Every structure is written in structure tokens, then in C-alpha cells.
Chains A and B, each alone.
Chain A
Amino acid sequence: MNSIGEECTELKKKYDDCFNSWFSERFLKGDHDDSMCASIFKVYQECVKNAMKQQSIDFKEVDKDVLGTDSEFKVPPSDNSS
């Protein structure tokens, strides 16, 4: 899959490979230390942030958390009474 910045795609692939093996071989097995991919993630992030700046993407909107907060939409209660 491509990155939003063409120049970041190589870094993204490297990071994704690292993450996927960390996720399968460590995280799902109970090891929560996430330092394994930290350095490649940092380089990749810088690249993506630059690419996003160039496309004038609103960082504030991206940063906003919704899942797990009060702004999250709630599933309506299923209507079993009718």
C-alpha cells in the first residue's frame, strides 16, 4: 500500500513489516514493550507529517480522539420490546 507522500512509501513498508512482526510475535503473545520499531517509526512519521503539511491537512482534526471518549457515537439500544 502507498503512503500519502510518494517519498514515504519505502519507509512505510519498512515500518509496516517491523510492526506486523512485532504485533504477531510479541504483542499478541503478551509482550507489550513497543520499542522494537520505535526508531523506524520516528523517521517514517517525519516524512508523513511533511507530506501532510504540503497537502494542507488539518493536524488538529487528525489529532482529535473520538474512540473511547464521550464524543464516540453510541450504538442505539436494540428494540426488543416491540
Chain B
Amino acid sequence: MARYYENTTIFNFSWDQVARGYWKRYPNPQSTHVLSEDTWSRQVKDGCLYTKRLLTKTNRVPKWGERFFSAKSVKIIEESIVDPEKKVLVTYTRNLGYTKVMSVVERVEYRPSGPGQTVAKRSAWIDSQVFGFSRAIRAFGVDRFRKNCNQMVSGFNHVLASMFPRAGAPPPVAHALKEMRGAAAAARATASALSGVQRS
């Protein structure tokens, strides 16, 4: 039996922005494990866009897993359907090869949720058929998947923020500068107060 895992994420960007950003997700600071990305097929059918992409990623396994999973990289097939009328983007990814050792299937559905917000509902099925080790491999798979989720979300948010900088919200650098100036002013005030103490 495959282990099932699900979670929900809110992106503070409109559905159109998320859909546009989806194709530009890589590279980002959190995606150093993604080695390549290619479009294998793409067509418009009944008003929906069907895409299949091939990704290669580095394969990070613990020492004990190397005997089952020695490959340095894994290939991943990503299918997606964009329905611009209903505003639904569904993605479905699976690993190519090594599926008996560990198969990871992920389905994500992006839908609008409130103004300027998009909800991503993520489901994952993780399975292994290695005799005597399937339980341990599944547990490892779920754990790694859970950790990767956070990276995936923050990487995607990084791309979205650079594609669609918010009017009103100061860019991070300006914000940091303001904070530093504030801290410097406070330090100067403290210093002058201290020197006042010494003089008296």
C-alpha cells in the first residue's frame, strides 16, 4: 500500500500570476537539485493546454539507501493541464524508472482563492516494492517529500515575487536598508547618551 500525504498552500498571487510563474519556476535559489527541464509535448485541446515536461533532478538518498538507489540523478515526467476558463492548473508528476524501488507521484491543483490569492492542494503517493525494506523506504520518501514541499513553496514564491513585485510593499533590499538605518540611528543615540554619562 502506498503512503498518502497531502497539504495545502496559499500563494499571495492571483491565479493568472501563479499559472504564468509556473513555467518559470526553475531556476530559483531553492532548486539547485533541478538539473534540466524540457518540454516533451504540448497542445491545446478543448480550450485547455496539455503539457508534458521531462525534468532531471539529483537524487539525494541516505547512505543506507544507496544499495537500492545508486543513480546520481532521476528523471521525472510532469504532466499538466491548464484550464484558463475555469482557472484550474493541475500538475501530475511521477518518476521515470526505479519505480519498484520507490515511486513518488504528486498531484497539485491550483485554484483561485479570494482576491489575489491562489490555493495549491497537493497530494502525494509514495510507494516501494523492495522486499523487506519497503516500509523504511516509504517512510524515508514521505519524510523527504515533506521537507521538499517547503523548499518548493519558498522557491516558487521567490520566482513569483521577482516576476510580480508588489506596488506598495517595499522590495526586500530597501526594507533591509531602512532597518539598518534605523538601527544605526538607535546606536548613535545610545552612544551619545553613554558619552553623556561618562562626562558627568
Q: Which A residues are within 8 Å of any B CB, using their own CB?
A: 1-4, 8, 12, 15-16, 19-20, 23-24, 27-28, 30, 32, 34, 41, 44-45, 48, 52, 57-58, 61-62, 65-68, 72-73, 75-76
List B contacts of A44 (CB < 8 A). Answer: 39
> Is there contact, CB below 8 Å, between A19 and B77?
no
Q: Which B residues are within 8 Å of any A CB, using their own CB?
A: 2, 4, 6, 16, 19-20, 23-24, 26-27, 34-40, 42-44, 47, 49, 52, 54, 56, 75, 77, 79-82, 84, 90, 92, 94, 96-97, 105, 107, 123, 125
The interface centre, meaning the residue of A1, A24, A44, A52 with most chain B CB atoms within 10 A of its CB, is A1
> Is there contact, CB below 8 Å, between B38 and A75?
no
> Is there contact, CB below 8 Å, between A48 and B105?
no
With A34-B43, A61-B96 already in contact, the answer to whether A1 and B34 are too (CB < 8 A) is yes
The interface centre, meaning the residue of B34, B82, B92, B105 with most chain A CB atoms within 10 A of its CB, is B92
Contact of B44 among A24, A32, A75 (CB under 8 A): A32
List B contacts of A73 (CB < 8 A). Answer: 2, 105, 107, 123, 125
User: How far, in whole Å, are A4 and B125 apart by their CA atoms in the complex?
Assistant: 26
User: How far, in whole Å, are A48 and B38 apart by their CA atoms in the complex?
Assistant: 8
The interface centre, meaning the residue of A19, A23, A73 with most chain B CB atoms within 10 A of its CB, is A73
B83 to chain A, nearest CB (A): 11
Contact of A27 among B84, B107, B125 (CB under 8 A): B84
User: How far, in whole Å, are A68 and B80 apart by their CA atoms in the complex?
Assistant: 9
> Is there contact, CB below 8 Å, between B84 and A57?
no
B62 to chain A, nearest CB (A): 26
CB-defined A-B contacts under 8 Å, sample of 21: A1-B26, A1-B27, A1-B36, A2-B36, A12-B38, A15-B39, A16-B39, A19-B23, A27-B84, A28-B20, A28-B84, A34-B44, A57-B75, A62-B77, A65-B52, A66-B79, A67-B79, A68-B81, A72-B107, A73-B125, A75-B6
> Is there contact, CB below 8 Å, between A67 and B23?
no
> Is there contact, CB below 8 Å, between A2 and B23?
no
